Structure 1
């Protein structure tokens, strides 16, 4: 079960996966408090098919009799305790099973042309998007979308009493971005943190959904077909050319923020060279719902590389250089080590190179310091940690408290070499 604040998840299709945030989300399901003004606090419940509707506590009966009021409050509290216990049992049963299990080989789907044999039609045809199927633990609930309390209680009770949760099979496919994906991509960008909601998030989402040559969006696929089951964007991976979009407000905001938040000022010249490079440096944007299966990440990177190769050879002549990236910048969300441990960002920076053996020793020392920095950080995504370990350059950005961001520079060749390791990391052969 993966939940979040009600405004972000109300009436949104989500994937039922593993519990990621602990007791706080159990409270969101189990406890139904009132605020200081005795107004119902909106909470969320999980129902069948992964739909999370808004739900409010029924209004408390009014009575002048204090004894009746006390009885009502006690009844509601007892109901909350029972609900909390039922949810805890249900989650414990689900967590005792393996949360994700890849099934079957990747199939080709999406809008891109393919021959009957499944291979790309020709060198002039874009590479086919990939698809896959994941097995997810599923807590059976009530079919009805009605928010009535009795239905909610019954669904929770069924889940708590079930010995084995049902297995819900979900097909995921990668598709070319399109205009209808604008709002989904915008929401993921806002939640991701790289482009705060106060910035021109819409401008960035517009660039991404209009760039069909490079980039993939993840959606659930119709059973037995290639078309998306709905328009909900579960995640995406794309890369935009910093030089081509240097005059757009959203790109300027991202680049200026990186330069202003450098934890090590000595890294500014290196970052400036990358941000101001002539045509061949791209900004990699990777956002996904928190409960999107991480096993999809390796195929997303593989699809990105295929897109880049295809666009560099087959896009309109005037645009081909915009997709011929020599380096990609990826911003990873990390947690800094606790005070008194780890490696400072300044230890990972390098100085001016000198000749001969001293130059080699300095390069080796820089690589060791960079490796120590990466090892000291806690990454939000396992795939980004492996990519950072193989990056040719990285630097920290200041954040709030221990929360920070790490900018890494990757070559397409390094990403390609890392993909097999990503599959292994996700438990795949």
Structure 2
């Protein structure tokens, strides 16, 4: 186990340090300005228990996991060994040309692991956005309908269709239109803003009424939703919201798509966030944590829906790359053998206990929410629920300056989001929480 050091011992320079600043200058001269970085402290190496060591020798506590990608750590031993073994055999053939067992094995694992015991099929892709886009293709092909419903605060990707599904204008959509047509947005269940008395059933009724009044339901192919919204602010809908939507979809022949790109693979304390409310989506989209840091994504769903697409209608040159597939099988084994579901639930308890304690003394914290190792703090102007993005940016900057990799999110940019690896050392987690608490104090 890596020895946990105190913060002054971990930081050898300012963050970012001089070597990182030189690399930033090179980035500015070589990389398009549109590619931004949250914390320009360039990585040298990592440890699997939550430390990122930068080129200046600073040891940063990782509370971002590459935006929920490296949930099993970013140097997981089983993944390393599986990748090495696969690279020595072959790196690529294209499954659509010369197939290989690893692709089939990942599909079998997904069919078994995703919610529901019905007959399922899977298809593999490269990124969450690519998988979302293909899920919409499948739903449209199956239903012979075109319209799609997405939600306020949603994030589904950066391709043209997924930008249409995504709600947030800046930085994801501004100046990039026109977007794919026949996408309709409806209200999300948002407990902080709806109020404690507004139930999940009521929020679902509001969304359904909006759907039924604004489009022809007989032409609605799919409803797509993140069971816990990611970029939109880690918004956890009120209990009953998701089951009511699913029931309405089934009553109206609409495909219910769960976007579990960020919430899947043990991140929320269950293998998939849908399981918290016992719902079984028609299609489930996965990526991020699926392969321990390698690019892989998938759609898994009812065989009748997935098999409705003609041969050759799904695929892609790199989809289900054998190296990524080997990593995915090792990642799944790691989650199961190392009880990372239990670790995620323990992280939730540690973090919520501490953050709720901070909230009790700080009226600028409007909500502490989330599940497992997907926890958020929404910051507001004291005494109101008005978003405070400036405070959020200040707290995040202070935490980063002191060696904690912290992300922000939310439609208004007023949410701190925490996505530590499920393998994080508990001492490091508590040290990160100490630094975050100090950042709140420093910004009073």
* TM-score band w.r.t. shorter chain: under 0.3
| TM superposition score normalised by structure 1 | 0.24
Q: Which has the higher contact order (CA 8 A, sep 6+)?
A: 2
| TM superposition score normalised by structure 2 | 0.23
Structure number with greater Rg is 1
